[in-house]
Amino acid sequence: MLEVSGLSVSYGLHRALEDVSLGVGAAEIVVILGANGAGKTTLLKAVANTVPAEPGRCVVLGGRDVSELPAHLLVEEGLALVPEGRGIFGELTVRENLLLGAYPKRARAGEAATLERVLALFPRLSERLGQTARTMSGGEQQMVAIGRALMSNPTVLLLDEPSLGLSPLMSGELFAALGRVRETGIGVLLVEQNARRSLAIADRAYLIETGRIVGEGPAARLRDDPAVRRAYLGEAAPGAALPSHA
């Protein structure tokens, strides 16, 4: 579905992403785990082309080379990004936010049916359609953001820390919704701090450190990997007071 290779990004002299390659299949949830500043947000932005990547990268979506497409045309190809901080239109209503999601031509014909599906996924939104998005709770705003992305009828959904700032109950609801999104055949690339929850739901995972992919594998295997447990699941290393990992 989505194949990325040779992706590098520099901010001035600072190399934030170094030759990253990864893939997301249809109906698959892939999670990217990494510490603060590892380059997770940069990775999603570079894939969605909202930050300039270095030449030589290759982004293939549904068999088509889309490396050179600007951000707004990538949406048209089926790539939807829910950015860090949600990026909803705070001054517009929930309904307007969702309908703007269906702005791409690929989404217009099925707009009404997609809206119904999104509201079935996030029933709380149906009572709030007329509300100004800015006045919603954090969790509800995240639902608007994901709902808006789904309205574009994507084949691949990129999510940047969707559970940030949500209560455990709300994050549970959110991860359950992601499971149902996967059932519709959409590939999900998820950046998360909540390693426990995301590894529980994901099919595969990549580990990223200072801009490089340092590990990957099926989520079930990484869940049991002692190094991963130490680094991301907060387990103390045997015989060491502080977790340390290479």
Partner 1 sequence: MLILDIVLGGLILGGMYALVASGLTLQYGVARIMNLAYGEVLVAAAFASYLLVTAAALSPLFGLVFILPAGFLASSLIYRVLLVPLVRRAKTREALEVDSILATFGLLFVVQGLAFVLFGGQYYSYSYLSVPVTIAGSTVPANRLLAFAVAAVLAVGIYAALMRTRTGTAIRAVAVDPASARLVGIDVQRVAGFAFALGGGLCAAGGVLVSMFLTFNAAMGVVFTMKALVVVIMGGVGNLMGALVAGLLLGLVETSVARLVDPGLTLAATFGLFLLVLLVKPTGLFGRAGR
For ligand ATP, the binding residues (CB under 6 A) are: 11, 14, 16, 34, 36-42
Report the distance separating Cα 144 and Cα 78, nearest Å: 18
Q: Should residue 73 be labelled a site residue for partner 1 when binding is judged by CB under 8 A?
A: yes
Q: Should residue 41 be labelled a site residue for Mg ion when binding is judged by CB under 5 A?
A: yes
Q: Is 80 helix (H, G, I), strand (E, B) or coil?
A: strand
Of the candidates 35, 100, 119, 170, which one interacts with partner 1 according to CB under 8 A? 100
Of the candidates 26, 35, 99, 233, which one interacts with partner 1 according to CB under 8 A? 99
Within 24-53, the residues that bind partner 1 by CB under 8 A are 48, 50
Number of H helices, E strands in the chain: 11, 10
Q: Residue 14: which of Mg ion, ligand ATP, partner 1, none does it interact with, CB under 5 to 8 A by kind?
A: ligand ATP
Report the distance separating Cα 9 and Cα 20, nearest Å: 10
Q: How far is the CB of 39 from Mg ion (least distance, A)?
A: 8
Maximum CA pair distance of the chain?
A: 60
Report the distance separating Cα 41 and Cα 32, nearest Å: 10
Q: Residue 81: which of ligand ATP, Mg ion, partner 1, none does it interact with, CB under 5 to 8 A by kind?
A: partner 1
Would you give the end-to-end CA distance of the chain in angstroms?
32
Task: Choose the binding region for partner 1 from 73-81, 119-127, 186-194, 212-220 (rule: CB under 8 A).
Answer: 73-81
Which letter does DSSP use for residue 158 in this model? E
Enter the tokens of residue 231. Answer: 């680094």
Q: How many CA atoms does the CB half-sphere of 196 hold within 13 Å?
A: 7
Q: Residue 42: which of Mg ion, ligand ATP, partner 1, none does it interact with, CB under 5 to 8 A by kind?
A: ligand ATP
Nearer to partner 1, 18 or 111 (CB): 111
> Do the Cβ atoms of 198 and 204 come closer than 8 Å?
no
Residue where the block lists tokens 């992706």: 7
Question: Could you list the residues that contact partner 1 (CB under 8 A)?
Answer: 48, 50, 70-73, 75-76, 80-81, 83, 87-92, 96, 99-101, 103-104, 132, 148-149, 152
Question: Could you list the residues that contact Mg ion (CB under 5 A)?
Answer: 41, 84
